[in-house]
């Protein structure tokens, strides 16, 4: 009924909130597919980036708590149709200024490279990398 529709604010324990979404970073290394599955088990998806503000948040917040060497898998991929990149959470593809690289991508999965100022780069999906998940507000594990 309508009573269930009230919005639960805030994020589950261990998640960070930014502009109405919740984020969590895992330093354990997974393939892109395993990482996306891991996120889905937590009611989320690999992180999507829809604005420069969000790009800066993901780049800076998780850089602090991670080993910094390898940025995380993000949800951008073209596994379904070659050269048609999509976010796993269905977000529209808005390209932040730091991601002109999309035109040159050869591989199917995309990572954010922290030590190159958060630039996006494509790498083979079977690489084992850390990953960041993103969900809407009020999602509980």
Confirm if 120 and 102 have CB atoms less than 8 A apart. yes
Please state the domain count of the chain: 1
Domain span at residue 31? 21-135
Please write the tens of the pLDDT for every residue from 60-88.
876 665 555 667 899 999 888 877 888 99
- CATH code of the domain containing 60: 3.10.100.10
- Among 66, 65, 78, 67, which residue's Cα sits nearest to residue 120? 78
| 15 falls within a domain | no
Q: With 50 as the cut, is the pLDDT of residue 141 above it? A: no
Q: What is the pLDDT of residues 6-53, one digit of tens each?
A: 445 689 889 999 999 999 999 899 999 999 999 999 999 999 998 889
Give a yes or no: residue 5 inside a domain: no
pTM of full prediction above 0.85: no
DSSP string, 72-104: PEEEEE-SSSTT--EETT-------GGGGGGGG
| Residue bearing the bigger pLDDT, 69 or 118 | 118
Whether 26 and 129 have beta carbons less than 8 Å apart is answered as no
pLDDT at 61: 73
Predicted pLDDT of residue 129: 92
| Phi, psi torsion values for 133, nearest 5 degrees | -105, 155
Flag whether 13 is in a domain: no
Check residue 138 and give its pLDDT. Answer: 47
According to the model, what pLDDT value does residue 5 have?
45
Say if residue 100's pLDDT is above 90. no
Query: Is residue 103's pLDDT more than 60?
Result: no
In a domain, 66, yes or no: yes
Give the C-alpha separation, 11 to 13, whole Å: 7
């Amino acid at each position: 009924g309508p009573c269930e529709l009230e919005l639960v604010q805030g994020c589950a324990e261990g998640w960070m909130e930014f502009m109405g979404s919740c984020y969590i970073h895992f330093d354990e290394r997974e393939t892109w597919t395993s990482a996306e599955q891991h996120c889905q088990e937590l009611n989320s998806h690999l992180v999507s980036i829809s604005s420069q503000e969000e790009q800066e948040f993901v780049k800076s917040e998780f850089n602090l708590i991670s080993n910094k060497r390898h940025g995380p898998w993000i949800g951008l991929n073209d596994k379904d149709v070659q050269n048609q990149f999509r976010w796993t959470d269905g977000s529209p593809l808005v390209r932040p200024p730091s991601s002109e690289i999309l035109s040159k991508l050869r591989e199917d999965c995309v990572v954010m490279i922290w030590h190159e100022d958060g630039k996006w780069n494509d790498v083979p999906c079977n690489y084992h990398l850390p990953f960041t998940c993103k969900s809407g507000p009020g999602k509980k594990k």
